[in-house]
Structure 1
């Protein structure tokens, strides 16, 4: 099955999807010397069958969990960057200073 992976890697590096004519794609699959079942799946462009032959997963998920103690980290940073509401500064235009 490593020939299948090598073929897919080579194909992905050298050609954009749909760039090869069907005859060129078939010739490339034949030249790779891939087993019959994988060859048939590649020629049929059957990703499910190929995934089954390679032992691929039907579904994969990625979950992210925040680290403990980081719940209010963003709120603290926003508070430290923003000026205090009552810091004693007043607008020059509010008092007519030009």
Structure 2
């Protein structure tokens, strides 16, 4: 199955291969040396069936959860308590002689 994964990588990196002529695509698939079932799925460009053959996940989700307390912030209000004030930064840099 690594041949199929490498083929899919080439397909993604080379738009001419995926959108080019059908004969070129068919020749690439035939050169993989995979089972007839995999070859037929690649030729039909059925991503769902290919995912099933390769043991892929049917769905992948990404969720973001806001940090606690963020919902009380007013719009445009940027509260940053972890960084020093601008004056503090200048003072600490000048004391170390980094100018």
Query: What band does the TM-score fall into relative to the shorter chain?
Result: 0.5 to 0.7
**Cα shift readout 1:6-41 (whole Å, capped 9, x = no counterpart):** 000011112247522111100011112223221110
Number of residue-to-residue matches in the alignment: 79
Residue 91 of structure 2 corresponds to none
Counterpart CA distance in 2 for 1:34 and 1:26 is 13
In the alignment, does 2:54 pair up with 1:54?
A: yes
Residue 6 of structure 2 corresponds to 6
Structure 1 stretches (4+) deviating beyond 6 angstroms? none
**Higher helix content, 1 or 2:** 2
TM-score (norm 2): 0.66
Higher-Rg structure is 1
TM-align CA RMSD? 2.4
In the alignment, does 2:15 pair up with 1:15?
A: yes
